[in-house]
Amino acid sequence: MRPDEIQRLADGIRDVQDFPKPGILFKDITPALGDGELFEIATRGLAETAGGARIDKIVGIDARGFIFGAAVAHLLGAGFVPIRKKGKLPWATEIESYSLEYGEAEIEIHKDAVGPGEKILVVDDLLATGGTAAAALKLIDRIGGEVVSVSFLIELAFLDGRERLGDAPVQALLTY
């Protein structure tokens, strides 16, 4: 991405003070989603994080990862695989638990969503503490996928989320 595109994308992210609770500065991506040019910049930028590598599947993490992941899959001519919250997928799944700030959560993937050795680009909107992304990487590994990159629209670097993702290459279009 060109520096001017990065700046335009950053300008399309709205800060919302005290959401969802006091003391949190929420990065609202909906203005960028609602602007066709900014959405195109974001999806193209995320597709470029593959670095020209062959990608068989894009894995999008529930729920905003679906928005970007499906668009990136289209750009790269790859399949799209959703990782969903527990209980939302209709067939046989692998499930992974992870810690949240106030408790536990579980995500799942269809057991046959990724074949052994398939090259995977994981896409989500935000890397914060890294718990959900780390759980997604465990699921992909368990069913045989090979993660090429884990790519985010935004990384909140001060929360050290990438530290939880091990050796996986992590990329973000915008870092705060």
Question: For 132-170, how does the pLDDT look when each residue is reduced to its tens digit (9 = 90+)?
Answer: 999 999 999 999 999 999 999 999 999 999 999 999 999
Residues 6+ positions from 3 with CB-CB distance below 8 Å: none
Question: For 70-90, how does the pLDDT look when each residue is reduced to its tens digit (9 = 90+)?
Answer: 999 999 999 999 999 999 999
- What does the pLDDT read at residue 100? 78
Kindly tell me if the per-residue pLDDT of 57 is higher than 90.
yes
- What does the pLDDT read at residue 154? 98
Does residue 122 contact residue 147 with C-beta atoms inside 8 Å? yes
- What does the pLDDT read at residue 125? 98
CA–CA dist 104, 99 (Å, integer): 5
Kindly tell me if the per-residue pLDDT of 40 is higher than 80.
yes
Determine the average pLDDT of the residues in 112-132. Answer: 97
Kindly tell me if the per-residue pLDDT of 103 is higher than 90.
no
- What does the pLDDT read at residue 102? 72
Q: Which residues are catalytic?
A: 64, 101
pLDDT above 70 covers a percentage of the chain that reads 100
- What does the pLDDT read at residue 2? 94
The answer as to CATH 3.40.50.2020 being correct for domain 53-175 is yes
Kindly tell me if the per-residue pLDDT of 101 is higher than 90.
no
Does residue 44 contact residue 50 with C-beta atoms inside 8 Å? no
Residues 6+ positions from 128 with CB-CB distance below 8 Å: 156, 159, 161
Query: If you search the block for the tokens 């680009």, which residue do you land on?
Result: 121
Determine the average pLDDT of the residues in 92-102. Answer: 90
